[in-house]
Amino acid sequence: MLAMGLAWKLREVLELIYVSALFAVVLMPVVQSIMRAKIRGWSPGRGTSIVGLVVVVFAALTLFLLLGLPPVVRDVQHFAGDLPERIPVVVAKLHHLPLADKFGVDSLAAKSTNMIESTAQYIFASAPRWLGRIFDLVTAFILCIYFMLEGEFAYRYFLSFFEPENRERLDRTLIVAEHRMSKWLIGQGALMLILGVCSTAAFGLLHVRYFVLLGILMGLFNIVPVAGGIITIAVAAAIAAVDGWGKMAGVLIFYFVYIQIENGFLTPKIMKSSVNLMGLSVLVALLAGSALAGVVGALVAVPTAALVAVLMDEYMVQKDLSAKSAEPASAK
């Protein structure tokens, strides 16, 4: 009981430690790949490899902030300024749809205005809290580096609490979980990047308003299976419809074609070796993670779900004897 109370008191610290350790686990295969590189017979050590990885990450972030962030900020500003004027135009167009009066279209403008005001007030009130998160971000970054440098010793110490026979089994299971978590994150990140780039290019060619912002949102929300894509494409189609039904049709056609390519080619190729997580599992993990720890919880929810899935498969799932005997044969 005392331990539970102490854990609750230190929940924010434990959250930082867990997030840092998780990212260290995900990044360690990259560090190990750098360590195996040969440069005229010389291989970089662990510390040098970590420094090189940090430099590359910072360079990528700097490039994004210099090139990618200004168009997004500009689109957000234009969107916030244009929205009050665009809402009556959208409402007028909705009036031409069948059964529009049955859905209370006339009250849409008032509700949207109130929602905008509430959102602005929330952002203003939450600004100090978000600024306070910067310190947590720096702390997590430093902890992540320490875990990459010394995490192996902490891991071996953790395993020493178990009996030798249980220790070996847990070690094998956690190694499998580490590989699958890393592959899932890399694969999902690749899918999000591809969708974001393709959406930005397609919306730009169609001359859709705020195409940079919409493209980035498409990529980010791709982490939520099915629902994320539907929500963002609905928003993009609604914004395109303000300028004309032709643009909206172009947006919908692009998304339909992309989904066929992603499901038929990209996902099988990129995610073939990652942990098999059902879409429902991903959605539940995201909801639980965001409820427990907000944005940070949502960020680590799916890798945590992958870890839990591997542990449950090893320790809880009752496999058939025929399946167990077939595994070595299939491996050969």
pLDDT tier at 331, thresholds 50, 70, 90:
very low
- Nearest 5°: the CA angle 146, 147, 150 is 80
Per DSSP (E only), the strands in 185-299 are none
> With 70 as the cut, is the pLDDT of residue 255 above it?
yes
**Backbone φ/ψ region at 39: left (φ over 0), alpha (ψ -120 to 50), beta:** beta
> With 80 as the cut, is the pLDDT of residue 53 above it?
yes
pLDDT tier at 201, thresholds 50, 70, 90:
very high
pLDDT tier at 332, thresholds 50, 70, 90:
very low
Question: Of the ranges 91-95, 179-183, 190-194, which is most confident?
Answer: 190-194
133 vs 305, more confident: 305
123 vs 291, more confident: 291
Q: Percent of the chain beyond pLDDT 70?
A: 75
How many Cα atoms sit within 13 Å of 113 on the Cβ side?
11
> With 60 as the cut, is the pLDDT of residue 109 above it?
no
C-alpha–C-alpha distance, residues 180 and 186, integer Å: 10
How many Cα atoms sit within 13 Å of 134 on the Cβ side?
5
**SS3 state at 41:** coil
Question: Is the full-model pTM beyond 0.85?
Answer: no
**Span 300-308, average pLDDT:** 83
Q: What is the 3-state secondary structure (H, E, C) of 98-162?
A: CCHHHHCHHHHHHHHHHHHHHHHHHHHHHHHHHHHHHHHHHHHHHHHHHHHHHHHHHHHHHHCCC
* pLDDT tens-digit series, residues 25-40: 878 888 888 888 887 7
Task: Report which of 228, 249, 242 is spatially closest to residue 79, judged by C-alpha positions.
Answer: 242
* pLDDT tens-digit series, residues 233-251: 888 888 888 778 888 899 9
**pLDDT for position 330:** 45
pLDDT tier at 123, thresholds 50, 70, 90:
low
**pLDDT for position 152:** 82
Instruction: Please state, rounded to an integer, the average pLDDT across all residues of the chain.
Output: 77
**pLDDT for position 29:** 80
303 vs 97, more confident: 303
- Domain definitions of the chain by residue range: 164-317
Among 11-25, 65-79, 90-104, 290-304, the least confident range: 90-104
